[in-house]
Protein backbone atom coordinates (compact mmCIF):
# COMPACT_ATOMS: atom_id res chain seq x y z
CA UNK A 1 0.00 0.00 0.00
CA UNK A 2 1.44 3.36 -0.96
CA UNK A 3 1.66 6.13 1.60
CA UNK A 4 -0.87 8.16 -0.42
CA UNK A 5 -3.35 5.24 -0.44
CA UNK A 6 -2.89 4.74 3.30
CA UNK A 7 -3.51 8.45 3.95
CA UNK A 8 -6.76 8.22 1.97
CA UNK A 9 -7.83 5.20 4.02
CA UNK A 10 -7.13 7.00 7.30
CA UNK A 11 -8.90 10.12 6.02
CA UNK A 12 -11.96 8.10 4.99
CA UNK A 13 -12.14 6.41 8.39
CA UNK A 14 -12.11 9.80 10.15
CA UNK A 15 -14.66 11.23 7.68
CA UNK A 16 -17.10 8.41 8.43
CA UNK A 17 -16.58 8.88 12.16
CA UNK A 18 -17.20 12.63 11.94
CA UNK A 19 -20.24 12.29 9.68
CA UNK A 20 -21.93 9.95 12.17
CA UNK A 21 -21.25 11.89 15.38
CA UNK A 22 -20.28 15.40 16.43
CA UNK A 23 -17.22 15.53 18.66
CA UNK A 24 -15.72 18.46 20.52
CA UNK A 25 -12.27 16.87 20.32
CA UNK A 26 -10.84 13.63 18.92
CA UNK A 27 -7.69 12.13 20.46
CA UNK A 28 -6.00 9.72 18.08
CA UNK A 29 -3.29 7.49 19.55
CA UNK A 30 -0.91 5.87 17.08
CA UNK A 31 2.64 4.70 16.57
CA UNK A 32 5.36 7.07 15.51
CA UNK A 33 8.01 9.17 17.15
CA UNK A 34 7.22 11.11 20.32
CA UNK A 35 5.05 14.16 20.04
CA UNK A 36 1.59 15.25 19.07
CA UNK A 37 0.03 16.58 15.88
CA UNK A 38 -2.71 19.21 16.19
CA UNK A 39 -4.64 21.61 13.91
CA UNK A 40 -2.50 24.56 12.95
CA UNK A 41 -4.37 26.58 10.36
CA UNK A 42 -7.24 28.24 12.26
CA UNK A 43 -9.12 28.24 15.53
CA UNK A 44 -7.71 28.20 19.05
CA UNK A 45 -4.23 27.11 17.99
CA UNK A 46 -2.70 28.19 21.30
CA UNK A 47 -5.01 25.77 23.14
CA UNK A 48 -3.91 22.85 20.95
CA UNK A 49 -0.27 23.89 21.20
CA UNK A 50 -0.64 24.02 24.99
CA UNK A 51 -2.03 20.48 25.05
CA UNK A 52 0.79 19.33 22.77
CA UNK A 53 3.43 20.98 24.97
CA UNK A 54 2.00 19.38 28.12
CA UNK A 55 1.89 15.96 26.47
CA UNK A 56 5.47 16.28 25.22
CA UNK A 57 6.75 17.45 28.61
CA UNK A 58 4.98 14.54 30.35
CA UNK A 59 6.80 11.93 28.29
CA UNK A 60 9.19 9.91 30.42
CA UNK A 61 11.72 9.48 27.64
CA UNK A 62 11.19 11.26 24.33
CA UNK A 63 11.65 8.67 21.61
CA UNK A 64 13.53 9.11 18.39
CA UNK A 65 12.46 6.48 15.89
CA UNK A 66 15.06 5.24 13.42
CA UNK A 67 12.54 4.78 10.60
CA UNK A 68 9.80 7.04 9.27
CA UNK A 69 6.41 5.66 10.32
CA UNK A 70 3.20 6.19 8.42
CA UNK A 71 0.14 7.67 10.02
CA UNK A 72 -1.79 10.86 10.51
CA UNK A 73 -0.18 13.98 9.06
CA UNK A 74 -0.50 17.71 9.65
CA UNK A 75 -2.20 18.05 6.26
CA UNK A 76 -4.86 15.49 7.19
CA UNK A 77 -5.36 17.04 10.63
CA UNK A 78 -5.86 20.54 9.16
CA UNK A 79 -8.19 19.22 6.43
CA UNK A 80 -10.45 17.42 8.92
CA UNK A 81 -10.55 20.50 11.14
CA UNK A 82 -11.53 22.78 8.24
CA UNK A 83 -14.14 20.41 6.80
CA UNK A 84 -15.72 19.04 10.00
CA UNK A 85 -14.84 21.67 12.64
CA UNK A 86 -13.52 18.96 14.91
CA UNK A 87 -9.98 19.24 16.27
CA UNK A 88 -8.02 16.01 15.88
CA UNK A 89 -5.00 15.62 18.14
CA UNK A 90 -2.74 12.69 17.30
CA UNK A 91 -0.50 11.51 20.12
CA UNK A 92 2.46 9.44 18.96
CA UNK A 93 3.20 6.77 21.54
CA UNK A 94 5.83 4.40 20.18
CA UNK A 95 8.12 3.68 17.27
CA UNK A 96 5.95 0.69 16.40
CA UNK A 97 3.93 1.64 13.32
CA UNK A 98 0.83 -0.33 14.33
CA UNK A 99 0.84 -1.17 18.05
CA UNK A 100 -1.57 -3.94 18.99
CA UNK A 101 -4.80 -2.30 20.12
CA UNK A 102 -4.73 -4.26 23.38
CA UNK A 103 -1.31 -2.82 24.21
CA UNK A 104 -2.21 0.84 23.66
CA UNK A 105 -3.38 1.51 27.27
CA UNK A 106 -0.12 0.03 28.58
CA UNK A 107 2.01 1.94 26.08
CA UNK A 108 0.09 5.14 26.93
CA UNK A 109 0.77 4.75 30.66
CA UNK A 110 4.35 3.66 30.06
CA UNK A 111 5.37 6.69 28.00
CA UNK A 112 3.82 9.28 30.31
CA UNK A 113 5.38 10.28 33.59
CA UNK A 114 3.53 9.88 36.91
Domain boundaries, the chain: 3-111
Mean pLDDT of 74-78: 86
pLDDT of 36:
80
Cα Rg of the chain, angstroms: 14
How far CA 60 is from CA of 20, 41, 67, 111, in Å, comes to 36, 29, 21, 6
Which one, of 72, 71, 36, 67, lies nearest residue 51 by Cα? 36
What's the CA gap between 39 and 109, in Å, rounded? 24
pTM: 0.71
Residue 3: its pLDDT value, please?
A: 57
d(CA 41, CA 63) in angstroms, rounded, equals: 27
Amino acid sequence: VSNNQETKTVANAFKHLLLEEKYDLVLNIEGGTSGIIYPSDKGPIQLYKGIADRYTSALKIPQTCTEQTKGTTNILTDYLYREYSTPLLTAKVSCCEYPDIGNIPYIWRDVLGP
